[in-house]
Amino acid sequence: RNFYYITMLRDPVSRYLSEWKHVQRGATWKTSLHMCDGRSPTPDELPTCYEGDDWSGVSLQEFMDCSYNLANNRQVRMLADLSLVGCYNLTFMNESERNMILLQSAKNNLKNMAFFGLTEFQRKTQYLFERTFNLKFISPFTQFNVTRASNVDIGEDVRQRIEELNFLDMQLYEYAKDLFLQRFQYSKQEEHQKNRLKRREERRLLREQRAHQWPREEAAEVAVTEDYNSQV
């Protein structure tokens, strides 16, 4: 079977805060096997940030302080080919080389997907989705600007810290946003050009139709005049 791979990306800071609130309420990823190259990571390769059943009630500071928290740069890690960097084995290569390979792999995989959208651009995402797969949604996408993440009041120092923890996701998102808007503009221009050609063709057909009608109208006028004259 042929599969079309698609994904949605989100602003890294909002996404990070959203995951923190999710974990704070008791969510875990215990059932995730994190398979890579045919095996799951060892406890040494992927330690947990908490003891017990879950990490419910965790503060944002505690969430940020865990250096092996999988929330950090999650979007890059989930889009990249981890086998290129030895999966979860951080001793496989130095950190800077690992980060560079992960980011480039995530960019390549994102670019080659059948489709990707951005949470912050719901209407544009819908437009591109419909154009890509030649379908029409029954109702328009809704842009929710008020989320659990948006309700979290953080200072500039905390925001900067989150951006530092997700510096790969920040770069990926800027790349994705630029590529997304380019595709949107291209699709819009293509649609306008198609509509112009359609209108031009409609006008040409209308002119031809009128040209065919004029001789018949003139012939009808001559016939009426001759008949009138003969009657007189």
Q: Is residue 224 part of a domain?
A: no
Q: Is residue 229 part of a domain?
A: no
What are the structure tokens assigned to 228, written together?
Answer: 């009138």
Residue 181's domain comprises 6-190
Q: Is residue 67 part of a domain?
A: yes
Residues 92 and 85 sit within 8 Å (Cβ to Cβ): yes
Residue 95 has pLDDT above 80, yes or no: yes
Please give the pLDDT value at position 216. Answer: 64
Please give the pLDDT value at position 119. Answer: 96
Q: Is residue 227 part of a domain?
A: no
Cα 59 from Cα 20, distance rounded (Å): 8
Please give the pLDDT value at position 150. Answer: 72
Q: Is residue 212 part of a domain?
A: no
Residue 24 has pLDDT above 80, yes or no: yes
Mean pLDDT of 25-33: 91
How much is the pTM? 0.85
Q: Is residue 207 part of a domain?
A: no
What are the structure tokens assigned to 164, written together?
Answer: 């530092």
Cα 114 from Cα 195, distance rounded (Å): 25
Cα 102 from Cα 72, distance rounded (Å): 13
Q: What percent of the chain has pLDDT over 90?
A: 77
- Mean of all residue pLDDT scores within the chain: 91
Encode pLDDT of 30-87 as tens digits: 899 999 999 999 999 999 999 999 999 999 999 999 999 999 999 999 999 999 999 9
Residue type, 72: N
Residue 232 has pLDDT above 50, yes or no: no
Task: Outline where DSSP puts E strands in 12-164.
Answer: 115-118
Nearest to 115 by CA among 97, 101, 102, 130: 130
Q: Is residue 168 part of a domain?
A: yes
Please give the pLDDT value at position 9. Answer: 98
Cα 103 from Cα 63, distance rounded (Å): 23
Total of domains in the chain: 1
Q: Is residue 210 part of a domain?
A: no
